[in-house]
Amino acid sequence: MFCSRQILRFREVVTELGLIDLPIRNCEFTWSNGRRNPFLERLDRAFISQGWQSVFPRSTLRALPRPRFESYWLRYPSLNEVVSNFWNLTVSGLETRTGFYSKIKKVTEAIKSWSAGLSSSVKKQANVCLAWIEWLDKAAECRSLTDLELAIRPKLKEIYDELCLQEELEWRQRSRVQWLKKGDANTKFVHANATYHNSLNRISRLSDGTPIFSSPESIDSHLYNFFRNQLGVEQACRHIISLPLIYDSANSVQLNLESPFSEEEVKRAVFASAPDKAPGPDGFPTMFFQRYWSLIKADVMKVFDDFYNGMGNLDGINDSWICLIPKKPGAALASDYRPISLVNSLAKFISKVLASRLQRQLGLLINPYQAAFIHGRHILDNFFVPHILTHHLHSI
């Protein structure tokens, strides 16, 4: 812990040495306390001397992208041990929600350190394996391979196939083409979709009539003000819906909707979710929870139990990133972008469980004459029934 005297002394040293705080270009803050009214701060700084600035006058800092969980990491057996060791670390003195995301944070840091030991390029490893395989194939044309070479060649082919599959999974995850399956060919189509999807993630300039916004700061400010006016300011909801006052059959329905959450229905919601959809601020897609369900289910159920008992604070759980999707090619205005929310996985599971419960009871809550958009009912029944009735009357 730093005391005020140490902080003051540090500032004096910076001033005496004439150090310059290197500016950061792509964001203003690097840390948030995650509250509803967050406290934002820039913790990561770099100081340079005037001599450095004269030699490298265009030096800047750039914040690294948020943690991203790669789907092909699940193919490494060593990841299981990393996740298990850090998830089982004791977290005491914290409420359920805070303890859950404290574990998520520890696992994130552990996976970050673990992944740093992996090769940065799967393709390079695959090319090295392929070169050795081709060398052995050419050697076999000229002479008999040694016992060691005969033993190495099938192993190299096995490693090469695994690396190719990892590369396919990596490109598939970036292409966002949902109908591609694991093991699909790593084709130019997949690469083109990944490149195109990546190009859509960049907003280099925006216009709003006369002014043109091109700097990251002006674009951020313009988008923030535009969507703040569009979406409005959050207000507390004070309305309470009483189902028994609306529906005659709502008493039995309400009992089903308000029953405690079971592990089985939570598990169904987790495994019914798409495994590789873009994650929220926690950085973990659904595939992580599906893979390690037996390890983390107890902590997940604690969050559900607190939520059911009215003790669960959803701050942090219900956080989301707002992602802007262009409505048309060549989007140039803020209104040309559609905002979607990338929600934390745990918030998705809670909403999915609630929606699944309600879906099973819709037939009792909605008038039987409402034929469209209800499971088990068909809008064409509105035409078939009069037709059958008319035919029956004519036959009398």
- Do 128 and 175 fall into the same domain? yes
Looking at residue 249, its pLDDT comes to 58
What secondary structure letter does DSSP report for 321? E
**Do 97 and 192 fall into the same domain?**
yes
Alpha-carbon distance values, 192 to 163, 170, 204 (Å): 20, 13, 20
| Count of structural domains within the chain | 2
If asked whether residues 21 and 80 sit together in one domain, one would say no
pLDDT value of position 189 = 47
Together in a domain, 40 and 98: no
Instruction: Give, as one character, the DSSP assignment of residue 260.
Output: P
Dihedral, CA of residue 21, residue 27, residue 29 and residue 31, to nearest 10? -120
Is 141 inside a domain boundary?
Answer: yes
Query: Would 85 be classed as within a structural domain?
Result: yes
Of 344, 320, 303, 280, the closest CA to residue 100 belongs to 303
More confident residue, 371 or 275: 275
Quote the pTM value: 0.64
More confident residue, 166 or 83: 83
Within a domain: 290: no
Largest interatomic CA distance in the chain: 106
Residue 231 has pLDDT above 50, yes or no: yes
Lowest mean pLDDT among 36-45, 83-92, 372-381: 36-45
Query: Is residue 102 domain-shared with residue 175, that is, in the same domain?
Result: yes
Asked if residue 96 and residue 28 are part of one domain, the reply reads: no
Residues in Cβ contact with 376 at an 8 Å cutoff, skipping those fewer than 6 apart: 363
Residue 229 lies in a domain: no
Residue 121 has a pLDDT of 62
189 and 134 inside one domain: yes
- Assess whether pLDDT exceeds 50 at residue 26: yes
* Residue scoring higher pLDDT (254 or 47): 47
Domain around 180: 71-200
